[in-house]
Structures are given as C-alpha cells and as structure tokens.
A and B are shown apart, each in its own frame.
Chain A
C-alpha cells in the first residue's frame, strides 16, 4: 500500500468508503450503509440510509424492521455516491446476496461479502467481477476445507431417511439461506414429500417462495402428530437440535448442514450423528480459484481463517493483507 491513505478504509467495525461517505456492512449504526446480504453479522439495525438489493431489504424488513432510508439496488444497476460508482453483483451466498463493486479515480474495488461458487437453486449464481483490489471473506480459508458435491450430501440425507422409517431425520440448518438451500437441493434430487419446519424457519421459507424460489410442500412441526412425522425430514435452526423442542419428534437422527461438518470434532461437539457438509461459503479451492480468476493487483481479507489465505497469496506472489474486522461469524453460519 502507498503511504497516502487509500479511499477505502478498513476499520474494525466495517469498511469505510471515504469519498462516498458510506460504510459497507458496518457493525455499528452509521448514517449511510451499503449492505451485502441479510445475515446478522453483516446487516445490523440502526442505520439512517441503506443501499442493498431488493431481496436483502425484504429479508432485513422481515428480521429487523425498516430503516428510515431504504434504497433498493438491482444487480448490475450502477449508482453514483459522491463520485464513487457503485454496483451490486450476485455473490451466490444466499437470496439477494451481493458483491459490491466500487470505481473511483480509475480504480476498481470489489467487496465480496460472503460468497460461494457452486450452484445453489435458491439464489442467483456468483458473478466474476474483475477488479484491482479484491476484498474477500475467508470463512473456510484453510486447505482442509473442501466441500464435497452437494448432491452426495443430499443423497446421504435421503439414505438415512430411508433407513430410519420409524423415526425422522432432524437437520439443523441456519434460518436464512441454509434451510432454503437444503429444501431446494432435496427437491432437485426428486424428493417431493412434505418437509417439516421448526417455527423459526417458516417466515424465511415463505419469503423465498414469494421471491419465486420453488419450495414444494412445507408443513409446520407445531400441531403435527408425532406419528405423522415418522419417516420424515425435519428442519430446525441449529440451536434447536439439543433443545427440549426436539422431544416432540419421533426418535430423531440428529443431522446438521454446515461447512464446519468437515471437521469431526465440530460435528461431535454438537452431537451430530449425520454430518452434511453443505456450505454457503466458498471452500479453499473456490477461494483460491476465484482469486486467480479475478487476478486483482491486491487481495484484502475481511474475516475468517485469513492467515492461511495470506500465506497462499504469499506463495503465489499476490499482494495481500488482513483487515481483521470484528464481530463476524457471530451467527457461526457456515
């Protein structure tokens, strides 16, 4: 980096775009915020004006309420914020998730937010955006993280369900993104039975359906007879897996859909019997491939296992630095 301050300033609580006087995913209330997606560690309440995709705004409205000034930005649409050209591009992470591209004085910077490369029937596919400075996440930035093909993991889930007709399979899945991903991946493999939902997942699934994502038949666990849940697949937020709530289920096999399931101890800590390695984040190969394809002059790493990704950049003679943003991964979403 040159000695003069860059027009993009990393701070512990967010990335400040000085000429635009706007923050990206700030973790404390600000007057102007650009928000990449609706997860709690990126979208906080209390901002005055917010720019985000219409889907992200809908998610924020559902989860946290409204901001005084909401500006919906379609993918590909370009804004001008005090001379900074800003556009949003699909990140493939969850519904509405975006990378934010900014151009100022001949330099292009992309902030990925969270992203993944592999196909996901519940959201728009990642778009490769060339840039000079690539500001990336590194949630799974260790070479031990290689997510297997999603269809293999869904096949394991279906096999467990078939082998367990007198019980059910209880899948822990984060309420925004993972739950809808698991549902749509199941449908893609031809599973059309009703899928039962914990109450905490219902509204977000309905929001996805309203945005044209086909969810198939979904039923609430609440009010369903225990006997009717035999042989079914039940989705719940991870916090409910070990909760008293699960006592209403017939002999559940505990499963969890998360990239962390790649590490045995992570699954064992949660008492998971059927780990499903399904992640909404780029794995190691996706991260490194993306950096190669974007071929930026510099890589900045926002959060995750940044040390390893920096080491990889060093080995490949790519200029890189860690930003050490705080408060990320609070939801432990993976």
Chain B
C-alpha cells in the first residue's frame, strides 16, 4: 500500500506527461502481482466496489468527527476523500502495514452495512497519504490527473509494447490483469477470441476553419445521441459506450434485436413522439442512460434505435484495415438482415461541393443534428483521433447574454475558486430567473477576475454557494435549448459555457427568457 500511496501522491504533484508515464511505468515494473494489477485498475477507472460508496466514507468519518467540523472542512478542502484523509484522528502512529491486494479482496467481499467499519479499520492503519489513496481506490474515483489512456501508455512503455496493441485487448480483460502482465513479462498476448468485447473507437478532429474536397471525403450527419458499439458473438450481444462501458442493461430493446454477428459502430437515438417518429434529442436519451433496468413504460414511450455508421467486424472477419468505402458497402449489404424499426443506416449527404454542403448544414433544423461528419473515403478504422481522416463540423453555437446570480466553489484544483456560475435572464415581470449553470469557457485570468468579483459582490451565503450582486453580464454559448419542467424558467441549455465576460454591458440589457424560448428546437 505504501508504494501505491507514494505513487498517487507523486502523480498529484507531477505536471509533465512524460514524468507521469515514467512514474507509473516504474511502479508497474517494481511491484509484484496482483498489487500492480489493482493499481492499474484504479488508474484506469476499472476498480469499483459496489459496497463501498462515498456515503460509506462519510458515514465512517461522522463516527469519528463532529459533522459540523467535517462539513466546514469539506467546504474548504473541496474533496471528500482528501478531507477524510486529513481529518482522521490518529490515536497512535499508523503501522502502514496494509497490503493493496488484501484491501481490494476485502472491499470486493464486504457488505454495504459492514463497509464503513472495514474502511475505518484500514484508516487506523494508514498515514494520511495512505488514507487518501485507499479511499480514492475504494470509491473508484482516483482523479490524479491522468487518463485511462495515459495509464495504458505507461503500461506499454514499462514493458516495451505498443499502446494500440494494449488497447485492442484491454476491454476483454479484467483486473488484476494477470494475463496482461504475463504478456508484459514476455508471455503470449492475451487471446480474447470468442468473447464480446469492446474495440477502441475511431474519433474525429474538429474542422476548424478549413475545407475539404468532397471527392476525397464523404459527408454524413453528426447525430446528437450516444455513440455506441454493438458487439455480437454467438448469441451474446453487448452495447458499449464511448469509454467502453457496457450499457446493455439500459437498452434491452436494442440488444435483443441484433441478429448479425460482428461489431457495429453507430449512434444510439430515441424516437420521440414530438418529433413525429424522427430522432429525438439527447435529453430524451439521457433518461435511459445509466439505468440497470428499464421499465416497460419507458421502453414504450422512448423506444431506442441505432443509426449505423460503420462495420468493424463482419461475422468474424476484421474489416478495420480496409478503406471506409469498402466497409460502407459491407455495412449496406448487411442492412437487409437487420430489423428496420431498430436499425437504420446513416445516410450520406449528397452535395456537389463544400459550399453546397455548408448550405445544407446551415439549413438543417432537426434537433438531433449536431453538425456534419466528414470521413476520408479511403480511411482505415484506426483507434483515436488521427489528423486528416475524420472531421466533425458542428453547427455554430447559439449564445445569449445572461446575468450572474449565484456562484459556487469548484472542486479539486478549483476548490478555492468560485468557478461554477448560475446565470439568469429577465422574465415578463422584470425578474431575473435562472436559466443555466456553467463552469467552463473562461481563461485562468478570467477565472481569477470572476472569483474576485464574486468575493467582492456577495449578497448572501448559503453554505458553499454565494448569491452575488446582479450586475455582471456573461455571454453564454450553448449548443441548443430545450423545454424543461425542472427549471423555473421552463428551459434548459445543452452544454452551456461562458464565451465572454461582458463587463461593458449593463445587466438590464441582458436577454429575456422569451428571447431564449424562441431558440427552442
């Protein structure tokens, strides 16, 4: 556990990507199985223990610390795990004698009711860095500023492998990755054949200001749903989200209707009545995401379907090293075998040239269209984002001038800054009503200025939230706007972010809710 907690601590204070990779690689080489496998699981976000949730961490802390003192501390520190690690009263110098793999075994076997006591027993045995690392591991949220990709890169570097080769088999393996480390130590490559596992997605770069030649690129709509991969092996069908999470239980209506073996790439959408059977917006889909079971009512009211983009594996034949247009022909040939109410084909947009494509894009009014995808006709299916192969060309964002109403402190790195802002627009009665919340889009310098503004213009404090003088106009950009019963204003923005600080503009000249309602799609 000490080696792992030292790694977690050092990663927290290391800025350079290469230095992080080197730290993890050194750890993976020097640490025995299965500890290193569990550490890798923690760093890639694959370690998760159903019985140990952040509520267990809080329950445990409340038994040792006054709840009010804990709350004040949590407000200041900005992170529950760190607060517990720091506040934990040490009655004797900790022995630091806990083994990572033993803790993991215990977490996997513990009941929800016993979890707080087990955690507390471990807390007593660890120093503050150890407590921090263990809580982060147990609750499955490391947040040490490294991505799963970086951890895999470190693994590959530690053992002289290619990271894409590691990615390819990664999703077929599970912690503590004995076969993966055996491969690293010179054994055979793990062979996941015969199991339905996730293949890394090919992704697109934004098309900034450039143009492409439609002789070389095909254009499709970019749908505002959930990108998914459907994998069928034998009679087992799985649905994976972009990160490789298995979301099959939330969409049994899709999984049960895929008759063809292979690996498909597509967009999961929900048919909404409001859209006359067309694809409904992302909001409708979110109702279903993350559910372990779905009610019959939900299946009936928001039936899911998949708009297919690509075919990666046809039967057992891997098509990924064939050009896009060949894969597209193979996909089209497969469509007849798929039930039409569950699967359709993403259509190619017919345009003479790039200018015409631009006009078609600007004329698209469908709420489920995010923009246009441009795919190089000869592109192989390669994981990740590669320059020059696929581009996404989003519709221009909408924007509105809103007034800052409340601010809340951020968490993690931003725990001392008021970085989350609730903003509002004017209603018919001349009152400001909240229309959204944003915590991105500004520079570090602007954040400092905003933080200072909040501190100097506080009217009221409600725990971590401050109500501010309604004087600052924020230009807010967003992708679309929808009806919402949850908000007093009756509207909700999709992906709002602060695009500019309009210190020049008086609050009275900010937009009205009515103006925003006109933008509803």
Which residues of A are in contact with B by a Cβ distance under 8 Å? Answer: 142-146, 262-269, 271-275, 305, 307-308, 311-312, 315
C-alpha spacing A268/B9, complex, angstroms: 12
C-alpha spacing A268/B13, complex, angstroms: 6
CB–CB B15/A315 < 8 A: no
CB–CB A266/B72 < 8 A: no
For A315, the closest partner residue in chain B by CB is B66
| Chain B 48-72 interface residues, beta-carbon cutoff 8 Å to A | 65-66, 68-69, 72
Which residues on B sit within 8 Å (CB–CB) of A142?
Answer: 69, 72-73, 76
C-alpha spacing A267/B312, complex, angstroms: 46
For B76, the closest partner residue in chain A by CB is A142
Is residue B413 contacting chain A, with contact meaning CB distance below 8 A?
yes
Name 15 interchain pairs, CB-CB below 8 A, sorted by A.
A142-B69, A143-B69, A144-B86, A263-B82, A264-B12, A264-B82, A265-B77, A265-B412, A265-B413, A265-B415, A271-B15, A305-B72, A305-B76, A311-B66, A312-B69
Which residues on A sit within 8 Å (CB–CB) of B78?
Answer: 265
Which residues on B sit within 8 Å (CB–CB) of A271?
Answer: 15
CB–CB A308/B86 < 8 A: no
C-alpha spacing A163/B412, complex, angstroms: 29
Which residues on A sit within 8 Å (CB–CB) of B416?
Answer: 265-266, 269
Chain B, residues 23-62, CB within 8 Å of chain A (1/0): the string is 0000000000000000000000000000000000000000
CB–CB A144/B66 < 8 A: no
Which residues on B sit within 8 Å (CB–CB) of A265?
Answer: 77-79, 412-416
Q: Known contacts A308-B72, A311-B72: does B77 contact A144 (CB below 8 Å)?
A: yes
For B89, the closest partner residue in chain A by CB is A143
Is residue B83 contacting chain A, with contact meaning CB distance below 8 A?
yes
Is residue B87 contacting chain A, with contact meaning CB distance below 8 A?
yes
Is residue B286 contacting chain A, with contact meaning CB distance below 8 A?
no
CB–CB B13/A144 < 8 A: no
Which residues of B are in contact with A by a Cβ distance under 8 Å? Answer: 12-15, 65-66, 68-69, 72-73, 76-79, 82-83, 86-87, 412-416
CB–CB A274/B13 < 8 A: yes
Which residues on A sit within 8 Å (CB–CB) of B69?
Answer: 142-143, 308, 311-312
Which residues on A sit within 8 Å (CB–CB) of B76?
Answer: 142, 144, 263, 305
A-B interface pairs (CB < 8 A), number: 59
The 4 closest A-B pairs by CB, nearest first: A144-B86, A265-B415, A308-B72, A144-B73
Which residues on A sit within 8 Å (CB–CB) of B415?
Answer: 263, 265
Which residues on B sit within 8 Å (CB–CB) of A269?
Answer: 413, 416
Most buried by B among A145, A264, A305, A311: A264
CB–CB B87/A144 < 8 A: yes
Q: Is the interface of B mostly helix, strand, loop or mixed?
A: helix
Determine which of B12, B14, B73, B82 lies in contact with A143 in the assembled complex, contact meaning CB atoms within 8 Å.
B73
Which residues on A sit within 8 Å (CB–CB) of B12?
Answer: 264, 268
C-alpha spacing A268/B76, complex, angstroms: 15
CB–CB A307/B72 < 8 A: yes
For B65, the closest partner residue in chain A by CB is A143
For A255, the closest partner residue in chain B by CB is B13
Q: Known contacts A146-B86, A265-B78: does B14 contact A308 (CB below 8 Å)?
A: no
CB distance from A174 to the nearest CB of B (A): 18
C-alpha spacing A49/B79, complex, angstroms: 47
C-alpha spacing A311/B78, complex, angstroms: 20
Which residues on B sit within 8 Å (CB–CB) of A262?
Answer: 86
C-alpha spacing A293/B415, complex, angstroms: 34
CB distance from A169 to the nearest CB of B (A): 13
Contacts A144-B76, A265-B414 known; list 5 others, CB within 8 Å.
A143-B65, A144-B83, A262-B86, A266-B416, A268-B12
CB distance from A254 to the nearest CB of B (A): 9
CB distance from A148 to the nearest CB of B (A): 9
CB distance from A239 to the nearest CB of B (A): 14
CB distance from A242 to the nearest CB of B (A): 11
CB–CB A272/B13 < 8 A: yes
C-alpha spacing A142/B76, complex, angstroms: 9
For A144, the closest partner residue in chain B by CB is B86
CB–CB B87/A143 < 8 A: yes
CB distance from B110 to the nearest CB of A (A): 27
CB distance from A139 to the nearest CB of B (A): 12
Which residues on A sit within 8 Å (CB–CB) of B79?
Answer: 264-265
C-alpha spacing A173/B65, complex, angstroms: 33
Which residues on A sit within 8 Å (CB–CB) of B412?
Answer: 265
Which residues on B sit within 8 Å (CB–CB) of A307?
Answer: 72
Which residues on A sit within 8 Å (CB–CB) of B82?
Answer: 263-264
C-alpha spacing A111/B305, complex, angstroms: 71
Which residues on A sit within 8 Å (CB–CB) of B15?
Answer: 271, 273
CB–CB B13/A273 < 8 A: yes
CB distance from A140 to the nearest CB of B (A): 10
CB distance from B90 to the nearest CB of A (A): 8
C-alpha spacing A144/B434, complex, angstroms: 35
For A145, the closest partner residue in chain B by CB is B86
C-alpha spacing A305/B87, complex, angstroms: 15
For B410, the closest partner residue in chain A by CB is A265
C-alpha spacing A275/B86, complex, angstroms: 15
Which residues on B sit within 8 Å (CB–CB) of A273?
Answer: 13-15
CB distance from B378 to the nearest CB of A (A): 44
For A146, the closest partner residue in chain B by CB is B86
Which residues on A sit within 8 Å (CB–CB) of B72?
Answer: 142, 305, 307-308, 311
Which residues on A sit within 8 Å (CB–CB) of B13?
Answer: 267-268, 272-275
CB distance from A329 to the nearest CB of B (A): 12
Which residues on B sit within 8 Å (CB–CB) of A263?
Answer: 76-77, 82, 86, 415
C-alpha spacing A307/B14, complex, angstroms: 34
C-alpha spacing A305/B77, complex, angstroms: 12
For B19, the closest partner residue in chain A by CB is A273
Which residues on A sit within 8 Å (CB–CB) of B83?
Answer: 144
CB distance from B125 to the nearest CB of A (A): 18
CB distance from B396 to the nearest CB of A (A): 34
CB distance from A332 to the nearest CB of B (A): 10
For B417, the closest partner residue in chain A by CB is A269
For B74, the closest partner residue in chain A by CB is A144
